[in-house]
Chain A
């Protein structure tokens, strides 16, 4: 099937099998391997991307369901030299160790800050409760998100 969508700000047309998850479409058909597959059943959050601004587990959504949508992945958020504040903050505060949960974690944090620019620590912890990290104990991830929020930039 032909899937037309806006992917990281660009109009794309992809030929996809109707049974492929959005995650597999992103990783295979779109060649964007930044989004990670940690479980493929919606338990770990590593595959979080934004669809029309809302965070979704891309492994739980069919690729064809994204027809006409705007999809933002970690690659569209920023790149070396023009990092998003969240990416910069994760580098600065040790928010990534192995990095496998990081793309999903950063995208979930982006969704949080878009909705709530000045979250409390509890709100940050609640927002990322569906994103599993096994390396950091979350301490430095929470720090990184709080530092990237408006409250700390002022």
Chain B
């Protein structure tokens, strides 16, 4: 039985269910101090004066840092190398404050309580500047610049032109346009950001941290602190979620390292939950103006869009998110004539960054809802219209290279079949029949998406792996990729076991220490299985070659005639065989050499596809929307671990339901103050809110760039669920919503306006 495609027990979960798993915040080196950040109480200002005298003198306080004490080095918020995705617009601490909640000083003290008290003793005088709390304010003529650029744009606009849009619209029988608006959901990972820094006697810095990108953290810490890379060691064992947002640096890493250097003591700096909202990263709020032309037969003649994203006070991943989100509109539904513009705008609000779906959540929300609107106007079924226009084999993907296979069509067809789409109101799986007088209205909707594995072409990525086979036949995979909690390391071990023909239990994964493992770009862009898995497979294949070379002599056969299955090397078509262990163990008078191979892989990109089918109910008396059931159909090339893959999809749907119905980090439009930075006021779906989810995984469009054809799955589920819900709400009550989150008040207002 193959190892891949089987839901083997994840070794990392053992520590998670017993409490033995170590997260960065669990490390407490002897003598450790605790650090806290003082955060600004204004949205836009110059610091006139900052007085730390009382704080410094407070018993137990060991160090205080302000912008006057730290190196002034302009750096990238998210340090992807050679990348156009990110911006270089941050200082560790600046004399200018750009949003309410930005860090302005840091304290290290003997206890958290003392550090907290010392923050109150720091006195800051601000010279306030006009705050631009909306995109409109920031783009208004004469608006004061938040950064160097006079126009308050994070980067030059993204422009995409294909074909001839004017001709396309001229040929259209139907033209639809609309503006779609998106709130500010945040990733809300369960583990607040944390790092522990310690310098040793040789001036080497060790950083235990919750990050998706340890080598990027190493690189930027070294650059900004002026330390050689070899003297910075970044350690990540377990981490409590990231969802894309833990790719940035958050001021804290630099401050923690500097406080540790100054005090010659280890220092821990841990965000409170509130700080994860203030100092963390959200999805980009924004708007999409979208216009499309259709022929009577349902084909799309032209597509024009203007995407505007609110970056908040810093650029972070703004350029990348804007480029990926905007160019995504070239595809999903086929159209030869497109004209797209994307802008990312600084405002004096908390920082938006990378978050699962990376700009595509917003733009496909607009696109998929508009397809539903078009279907109604054309008098055709929405799923049929989407199927007719679905991207397919050979079409040029947003990344610029051809799509492999017919994954999206397969997802749509399978979902339609599963829910008996044509008769969905009467479908046996529908929870209730509609009745005219019932205040509870029910409806079905569907939404589609596609998403790339790897950040190509924005980033030319590189994966590295080393595989070692020990003299007892056990195997160790050395990988730099981080375990966010998805089960990625298990998938990588499965891939190595499969390639080598050994048991899963014989493969262990070494990770989490930049001094030990090969360089890695980070765990993001749904590329860990696709790229990290493929390069692990390549390294394993090299070890296999050496192993078969070893065995060839003993089996008196050529290496090419040998195969490995279940840990036994045999001559194909015969019963002659020896165990893997025998082939590598020490021979009489000879030591055993460990078999070692490394591989490097530079992938392009593959696309995964999904169609989500959703039934909702709307209470027309209270305005409450409930998602009753979700049938997500995902095409991911090859399923490595079915339970982990389904887990990604179920979790993505949970976040997507939250985005669409309840989640919005609210910023006071008058002051820029955060209004709901906590789990009571920032409403996420809980156990009782979540509907049954029946996940269907397809393997109909395997990609040659992934291991055994496998593609990514992490980001896809959060994209399709949103428009599926909005479309189902329309089916239920006949009110079309073109924004998220859709609140009960808005539902009632919409019903009144009908």
Contacts and interface: CB of A to CB of B under 8 A. Distances in A.
For this complex, into which size category does the number of interface residues on chain B fall? 35 or more
A125 interface: yes
Interface string B175-192: 000000000000111111
A137 B19 contact: no
B18 A98 contact: no
Interface in B684-716: 684, 686-688, 690, 692-693
A34 B20 contact: yes
B750 interface: no
A136 interface: yes
A41 B485 contact: no
Contact of A137 (B16, B273, B650): B650
B273 A101 contact: no
Interface in B333-379: none
A132 B240 CA distance: 13
Interface of B: 7, 9-10, 12-23, 25-26, 28, 113, 187-192, 238-241, 243, 272-273, 484-487, 643-644, 646-647, 650-655, 678-680, 684, 686-688, 690, 692-693
A93 B643 contact: yes
Given A44-B273, A98-B484, A138-B686, 15 more contacts: A34-B19, A36-B190, A36-B191, A39-B678, A44-B190, A79-B18, A83-B17, A87-B17, A94-B643, A96-B485, A98-B190, A99-B16, A125-B690, A134-B243, A136-B650
Contacts of A80: 14, 18, 20
13 contacts: A38-B192, A75-B20, A87-B17, A95-B17, A97-B486, A97-B651, A98-B484, A100-B23, A100-B189, A135-B647, A137-B690, A140-B646, A140-B650
Q: Which of B13, B14, B16 has the most CB of A within 10 A?
A: B16
Contacts of B653: 137
A103 B19 contact: yes
Contacts of A53: none
A100 B240 contact: yes
A98 B241 CA distance: 5
Contacts of B10: 91, 94
A70 interface: no
Q: Which of A19, A32, A38, A73 has the most CB of B within 10 A?
A: A38
A43 interface: yes
A98 B191 contact: yes
Given A28-B28, A91-B13, A97 B18 contact: no
Contacts of B690: 125, 137-139
A44 B679 contact: yes
Nearest to A74: B19
Interface string A14-56: 0000010000000110001111111111011010000000000
A83 B15 CA distance: 11
Contacts of B7: 94
B663 to A, nearest CB: 11
A64 interface: no
A129 B687 CA distance: 5
Nearest to A76: B19
Q: Which of B18, B28, B238, B680 has the most CB of A within 10 A?
A: B18
A149 interface: no
Contact of A129 (B21, B643, B686): B686
B566 to A, nearest CB: 23
B643 A141 contact: no
B654 A32 contact: no
A9 to B, nearest CB: 15
Q: Which of A40, A46, A102, A140 has the most CB of B within 10 A?
A: A102
